[in-house]
Structure formats: structure tokens, C-alpha cells
Amino acid sequence: MTFLIKLKQTFGIASSFVRWRVGCPKPFFVSYQITLRCNRKCVFCNAWKQKIHRELDTVQAKRIIDELAECGVKVLGITGGEPLVRTDLEEIAVYAKSKGLIVGVNTNGTLLTTRRALSIAESFDTVFVSLDGFEGTHDAIRGERGTFGEALRGLKNLIDAKRDCAIGVNFVLNKMNYKEFIPFCRWVSRLGVLITLFPVGGDEGSDSEYAIPASEVDSFVHQVLKEKSVNPLLGPSVRILELIPRYVKGSMPHICDAGRLYLGISPRGELRICPIGPASPDWQVGSLLGRSMVELVKTDRFRQVLDARKNCTPCLAGCTTPYSLVFGGSTKKLTEEVLSYLKSYSQMSKKRTSDR
């Protein structure tokens, strides 16, 4: 990652933090679920089960990007489904970057051919590939044999593209893969990419049947914290890791700034109060095709949904909780988080440069 990109990210965080502190917050992060279409059948995901796939076209998606830029959003995360099923994905990402947004994408990696990997690496600031363990485990979780091999080839194609985007691996922690995380983490680190992990739901979560056993989560997190002390490519902060046992056991504190610090957008262009909240109309504010984002966040409907989210089940998510912890902490904590963030990317860049 170039110094310019890192500087842009750091400035974006700092400026939003100042606005947050002085009581004039603007949404910092938006997650855009660009499609529900997907080429895999992950056991803990419902996106692929949807029969109707209505989504915005390229022109409409760019209109949404304009709204985000106008509202002061700094970071855009694109998710699915599988975002790479859209052939206009890179065009949308490049457009968002031209508007000053930092743009990332999460992918299962199976569609990252040599040509597509180069195109994606040139279009995005960050690209994270989902790998949930070694071959047998990953294929079982992702619902199809051969998925691990395809995803790994995609990841290596990204690395071989030799572009300045940050590359990482997402590990969805669950009862099927937690025992192999430490060796898997070390293996991924040797590739010179970041690795992050977040768990599926605990006792109060909709995915509780896949949760890591509560009786073993404390020991597991202890091992991960030891690994983090010697592995700068292991991404989650100590504070995030220390919350995993509480989340799995159903005693997670309510750390939430949905609607204020982060928002979500549905495939159809509906503004959601939360990036990972339910897809039901109860969590939707209104269509960004009909009214501007600036207008929607001033409506009574927005305030109603904002009040309703106070009663939701506490979550621990990679696209929300870290931002709440960073912005809700002291300036010292923010500085520590930013320095740790830059250190991880520096280590990744050094590793990838030495392997070229």
C-alpha cells in the first residue's frame, strides 16, 4: 500500500473522529450489499437462498455513490452475495474512489482469475478473501468441494498482481474451524497478507448452532492473544479479541453506533440503519433513489429506526464494532489503533515486496 493511500485513510479517520468529538458526526462507514447473487452455499449464510435478485444497475449505483460522498462518508465496503458476479464492480469502485472514498470489497475469491484479480487490485484500496481454514474445513463450510483451491488461487492471483491495494483473509470463526485457526493464521501470514477473524453468533445470535463452544472460547482467545503478540499481520485489536468470549456466551455489551457512525445499503438502494441488521423493512429508512441521503437522515422515519436499534441483540462485527471502539475511546486509544493499523500494513508491504 502506498504512503498516499495510508495517509488518506489516516486523515479520513482523524477528521471524522474530530467531528464525532465535537458533536457533529457524519457517517464514517457504509456497507453496500451490491448483490444477493452468489456462486457458493455457505452453511451460515442466507443470501444464496434468495430466489429474487433485484439490484441497482450501474447508473443507479453511481447515484448512490454520489449520495455517500455528499454526506461525508469516508469508507465504503462492498459485500454480497458475491460481489464479483457483477461485471460492473470495478467501474463502480473506481467511480467511488474518484469521489474521495476509500473502497474495499469482501469476496469468496473463487472468481479471481488472473485477469480479474489484476482488475480488482487496480480498482480497490482493500480486498479481503474469505478463507475459513484448511481445505477440508473450508470446503465443508462453503458448501462445495474445490472451493478452497479456487479461493487460494484467487488470493495468490491478487498477490501476484503486485498492486498497492491491501490484501487480507477473512476467517469466520465457528465450531467447525476454531481448532485450526492458529496454524492457519501462521500459514496465511507467510503469504504476506493480513488475517482477521470474527465469530458467528453466540447464545443470543441467529447463528448460535455454529458458534464456538462456550466452554472452550476463553482458552481459544488466550491462544490468539499470544499469537497476536508476535504476529503483526493478525488484524483484530486486543479489545476486539477480548470481547469474543462475551459475545459467544451471550453477555456481549451493547456497543452500537448504527445510524450515526455507520449505515448499510441494500441491493435495491434502500438505506438501512445498520450494515448487518435484518433485511426486514423495520430496519430500512427509505430508498436512496427517491430521496437524498442528506434528506433521509433528517426524517422521522430515520429517528424511529434509530430508536428501535437500541433494542437489538448486541453484536460483534468486523464492519461496526471496531469503529465504535475507536471513535468511542480516547485520543490516545485512537492513536494506538491507527499506529497498530499502519504497522500491520507496513509488515504486509515489506513481506510482499521481499517476495517480488
Element (H, E) at 167: strand 166-173
Q: Is pLDDT at 249 greater than 80 in this prediction? A: yes
Percent helix / strand / coil, the chain, rounded to 5: 50, 15, 40
Would you state the pLDDT for residue 277? 73
Of 57, 37, 33, nearest to 48 by C-alpha is: 37
User: Residue 328 — pLDDT band, cuts 50, 70, 90?
Assistant: confident
Residue 188's Cβ-count burial label (10 Å; 0-12, 13-18, 19+) is buried
Longest dimension (CA), the chain: 55
Partners of 264 in the β-ladder: 31, 272
Express each pLDDT in 3-12 by its tens digit.
565 566 566 6
The one-letter amino acid at 232: P
Q: Residue 354: what are its φ and ψ, rounded to 5°?
A: -70, -25
Give the domains, in start order, of the chain with CATH numbers: 3-354 (3.20.20.70)
CA–CA separation, 325 and 311 (whole Å): 19
Q: What percent of the chain has pLDDT over 90?
A: 56
Residue 66's CB is within 10 A of a number of other CB atoms, namely: 15
Each residue's pLDDT tens digit, 275-298: 887 667 788 999 999 999 999 999
Cis peptide before 81 (omega within 30 of 0): yes
- Provide the pLDDT for residue 42: 79
Query: Which residues make Cβ contacts (< 8 Å) with residue 61, sequence separation at least 6?
Result: 34, 88, 92
Poorest-confidence range of 91-95, 136-140, 214-218, 310-314?
Answer: 310-314
pLDDT at 1 exceeding the cut of 50: no
Rounded Cα distance, 304 and 145, in Å: 45
- Pick the range with the lowest mean pLDDT from 47-56, 62-71, 95-104, 308-317: 47-56
State pLDDT tens for residues 160-180: 998 889 999 999 999 999 999
Nearest to 268 by CA among 49, 63, 46, 103: 63
Residue 266 near residue 283, CB atoms below 8 Å: no
pLDDT the model gives residue 245: 94
Least confident of 81-85, 109-113, 274-278: 274-278
Which of these, 145, 151, 153, 148, lies nearest to 134 by C-alpha position?
Answer: 148
Task: Choose among 131, 193, 195, 130: nearest CA to 165.
Answer: 193
Q: Which amino acid is at 101?
A: L
How large is the average pLDDT for residues 185-190?
96
List the single range of 9-13, 253-257, 317-321 with lowest mean pLDDT.
Answer: 9-13
So what's the pLDDT on residue 17?
64
Mean pLDDT on 214-228: 96
For residues 156, 158, 159, 163, the Cα torsion angle rounded to the nearest 10 degrees is 170
The whole-chain average pLDDT of the chain stands at 86
Report residue 26's pLDDT band, with 50, 70 and 90 as the boundaries: confident
